[in-house]
Homo-oligomer: A and B are copies of this chain.
C-alpha cells in the first residue's frame, strides 16, 4: 500500500519479479485485499488486451495477506505502534513469525525503519540500523551508508557502517575484500571534522579493507586517490544531503542541455542508469532480517529490482554474515 504509485507499482513489480525468479519463490502482497485484487484484475486485463501470454503461473505464487490499515507517507515513525494492523506492521510480522524471509516496501521510510527495529530487532552491538544506497558511478557501483537513518553519528557508529557496508558489498555486489572509504573533505587522515578524524583511526584498526578518506567528487568517479571504491561511509545527514542533491542536479542539467538544443528524450535515456531509484531498494542494514526500503516514487521495475535484491540477501545469508562481522565489536 506504500509509495507514490501504490498499489499499481508494488503489485506490478511483484508480478514482474515472479516472472524472472524461479518457481521456488513466492510473494505475499500485504494490504487491503479488495484493493490488491482489483489491481491484479486490472493488470491482468491490460496484459490480455496487449495479447501477452497469461501470467497465471506467476499469479499462483502470489498470496494476498489482509492488512486493513495503512501508514500514510506523512505519518511519524512512531505511528507504527498505534497501527499494528497496517500493511507495514503485518508485513514485517510475517517475517518475525517465520512466515516470510524478507520485506520490501516503498512506503514511509521512517515508519519502515521503526517497525523493522521493533519486530526484527537489531544485531547486538548496534544502536540503530543504517540505510545503504547503491550509487551509480563512472566505474563500479558504490554502496553509500548511512543515507538517512542516523543524523548524529559517533565514530564507533561510522565504523560499524563500514562493517555493514562491506558485508553488503561482498554478498550482494559480489566484491571480494571490498574497499571501504570515509567521506571527508581531504584525502589525508587529518582532514575532516572531529568525528571523521576519530573514525579514520578506528577504521584503520578495524580489520576492514579501509583505504582512507575520499572526497565529494570521488563518489561519482567511483574512485579516490587511494583506489577504486566499493563502500563509502558517512553519517546520515551528509548521506541524505548528497543523495537528494544528486536527485536535484539531473533536472537542472537536463534543462540546460535542452536549452542548448539537445534532445530531451536522448538525454533522459542516457542518464537513466544514474537514476538510483530505478536500481531497486536500499536495504536497512543491521536489523535481524531483510527489510528493503524503496524510493517513494519507485516504478514497477524498481520494485522488481528490490525484490531480487531481497532474494539475493536471503540466498547469500547476508543477515548471518552481518551478525558474524559485528561479533568482534561485541567481544571488544
Contacts and interface: CB of A to CB of B under 8 A. Distances in A.
Interface residues of A, number: 53
Contacts of A259: 270
Interface stretch (A91-99, A204-212, A245-253, A322-330): A245-253
A260 interface: yes
Contact of A148 (B185, B219, B273): B185
A50 to B, nearest CB: 28
Nearest to A150: B193
A185 B251 contact: no
Interface string A251-278: 1110111011111001101110110000
A150 to B, nearest CB: 9
Interface string A234-251: 111110111111111111
Copies of the polypeptide in the assembly: 2
A271 to B, nearest CB: 6
A240 B216 contact: yes
A127 interface: no
A138 B252 contact: yes
A44 interface: no
A220 interface: yes
Interface string A183-225: 1110000001110100000000000000000011111110000
A218 B257 contact: no
Given A185-B236, A217-B245, A242-B241, A250 B253 contact: yes
A22 interface: no
A195 B249 CA distance: 26
A240 B213 CA distance: 14
Given A242-B245, A252-B221, A237 B193 contact: yes
A28 interface: no
A152 interface: yes
A23 interface: no
Contacts of A234: 241
A60 to B, nearest CB: 40
A325 B47 CA distance: 66
16 contacts: A138-B255, A185-B241, A193-B235, A193-B237, A196-B237, A216-B242, A221-B251, A221-B252, A234-B241, A238-B241, A241-B242, A246-B249, A253-B271, A256-B270, A257-B266, A262-B267
Given A245-B246, A262-B270, 19 more contacts: A137-B252, A185-B237, A185-B240, A215-B244, A216-B240, A216-B241, A216-B243, A217-B248, A220-B245, A220-B249, A221-B248, A238-B241, A252-B274, A256-B270, A256-B273, A256-B274, A260-B266, A260-B269, A260-B270
Interface of A: 137-138, 148, 151-152, 183-185, 192-194, 196, 215-221, 234-238, 240-253, 255-257, 259-263, 266-267, 269-271, 273-274
A-B pairs with lowest CB-CB distance, top 7:
A260-B270, A216-B244, A217-B248, A216-B245, A220-B248, A220-B252, A151-B193
